Amino acid sequence: MDVIPFQRKNRSDVIFEKLQELIGDGQWKPGDRFPTEMELTRLFNVGRSTVREALNHLKTSNLIQVVPGRGTFVTEPLGVEHQILSRHIPDSATAQELFNIIEFRICIEPSTAYLAAERISGPQKKRLLSIAGAVDNEELSPAEFAETDIAFHIFLAEITGNPLCVEIMNYLHTFFYKQQIVTSLISARKKAAAQSHIAIAKAVAAHNAKTAEKEMRAHLCNTREYLESIVRETALPEISKNQSGGGS
């Protein structure tokens, strides 16, 4: 039998695993404030970029959550439902897994936009329109693009006033985040995403539910096309024949 080589871990992976272990051992409990990026650089004696990668891994693993204006906090332990879903999307590293994510989004988010358009309030209109085009910023890193993009979609769920819509969007944040990281690799994606967000926001603000639903579906199908182009141009595994059709 041939020797099976182990992959050499980089420092950010080692730090992630140590922090994951400490959280699991109760060093920080759910709801506790998590150490800052600067505190962790001193603790592990590494650069900020290394710590940032480890923190992003903790976020995508849903172990910590960033609360704007307050800080970073340890999340509640994930339930069995998350574990089941994770088996279908282990780490979003393959094309098939990425397509599973975007196709699921196509199933649920157009209806969320429809409901948001029916229920949006005056103050919510102002905020939605202000954050709609925020992803059109060339200075955003892939991680920042993902967070900014997802914030728009989560706010739409909040506008519906339906706690289940909000819960499922926050619950699926981990998987959406990974898909957004990949699509951010195409520079034109930021401007296209901003234009789509603005079109969706205007329809929602105008209480035009059918247009909001249509614009959201078009936005997500356009994202699917970006994934297809990435699959063609990178080393990501090819999608299966039964998944190579249109997004809608």
- Please name the residue that has the structure tokens 């034109």: 188
The pLDDT value recorded for residue 67 is 81
- Least confident piece of the model among 51-55, 87-91, 218-222: 87-91
As a whole number of Å, the CA-based R_g of the chain is: 19
Amino acid 150 reads: I
Q: How far apart are the C-alpha atoms of 82 and 145, rounded to whole Å? A: 24
Q: What does the pLDDT average to over 162-170?
A: 88
Q: How far apart are the C-alpha atoms of 26 and 92, rounded to whole Å? A: 28
The pLDDT value recorded for residue 66 is 84
Q: How far apart are the C-alpha atoms of 168 and 85, rounded to whole Å? A: 12
Decide which of 32 and 184 is more confident: 32
The pLDDT value recorded for residue 127 is 94
Q: What does the pLDDT average to over 175-197?
A: 79
Distance of CA 104 to the CA centre of its chain: 13
Mean residue pLDDT of the chain comes to: 80
Q: What does the pLDDT average to over 29-53?
A: 91
Q: How far apart are the C-alpha atoms of 12 and 6, rounded to whole Å? A: 17
The pLDDT value recorded for residue 247 is 37
Residue 141 pLDDT grade (very low, low, confident, very high; cuts 50, 70, 90): confident
In this model, does residue 196 exceed pLDDT 90? yes
Please give the helix or strand (H or E) that residue 96 lies within, else none.
helix 95-119
Q: How far apart are the C-alpha atoms of 28 and 102, rounded to whole Å? A: 33
Residue 234 pLDDT grade (very low, low, confident, very high; cuts 50, 70, 90): low
Please give the helix or strand (H or E) that residue 66 lies within, else none.
strand 64-67
Decide which of 95 and 225 is more confident: 225
In this model, does residue 207 exceed pLDDT 90? yes
Cβ burial 130-159 (10 Å sphere, 16+ → b, else e): eebbbbbeeebeebebbbbbbebbbbbbbb
Residue 79 pLDDT grade (very low, low, confident, very high; cuts 50, 70, 90): low
C-alpha distances in angstroms, 27 versus 53, 117, 188? 21, 44, 42
Decide which of 219 and 241 is more confident: 219
In this model, does residue 116 exceed pLDDT 50? yes
